Every structure is written in C-alpha cells, then in structure tokens.
Amino acid sequence: MSDNDLINVSVNLAGRSYPILVSENELSSIEKINAKLNEEFIALKTQYANKLNEQDILAMLLLTYAKNLHEEKQINDLTPVEKRIRSIEKILTQVSDK
C-alpha cells in the first residue's frame, strides 16, 4: 500500500486530536475503535475521578487493550497443537514403516 492510497484522518481521544493515515477500507473500523476508546476513557475517568489524571487513565486503557490482545493471541495460538500433531505424525510414520 502506498501513501497515495492512504487518507489522513483525525482521531480524537481524551480531548486531544491525533492525525493518522488509514486506507479507505480501514476508515469505518478506525471510527468505531475511536468511539469505543472514548467511551471507555469516559467510563474510567468517571470511575477514577479525583484519583487519576488523564495520562494515567490513557495508560490504563492501553494496558487493558494490550492484555486483551495478548489473551486473544494466546487463545488463537495453535503452535502447541501443531507441534503435538507433528509428533503424532512422526510416531505414526515410524510405526507404519515397521
């Protein structure tokens, strides 16, 4: 994808504007993600009013998303299953060669 295929959009999070480049296909997803992040930011800001500043709340939000992403990757990681299948295939090959 070249820079010519990208659109410059402004994402607003926690009252600040961040310019990002996205493809037209990503635009709808980015808008939904932006809305969800702001919604969660406001919820955390309300929950931790007078306890945390906005920077801390953004850090909490980032850590929450990173944790969720890590857990999702763990669930979808088939490497242990693939290794087990290869081991079983190897054993079956050895048995069938005898």
DSSP 30-55: HHHHHHHHHHHHHHHHHHTTTTS-HH
Instruction: Determine contact, residues 28/7, Cβ cutoff 8 Å.
Output: no
Tokens 């990002």 locate to 20
Instruction: List C-alpha distances in Å: 46 to 15, 43, 57, 63.
Output: 15, 5, 10, 18
One-letter amino acid for residue 20 of the chain: I
Task: Check: CB of residue 41 under 8 Å from CB of residue 53.
Answer: no
Q: Which two tokens stand for residue 73?
A: 């990757």
Task: List per-residue pLDDT tens for the chain, 98 residues long.
Answer: 555 689 999 999 988 999 999 999 999 999 999 999 999 999 999 999 889 999 999 999 999 999 998 888 888 777 777 888 888 888 778 777 76
List the chain domain ranges.
Answer: 3-97
Q: Give the 3-state secondary structure of residue 21.
A: strand
pTM for the whole structure: 0.67
CATH classification number, 3-97, choose in 3.40.605.10, 3.30.70.120, 3.30.160.880, 1.10.150.120: 3.30.160.880
Helix ranges (DSSP H) in 1-98:
24-47, 54-76, 79-97
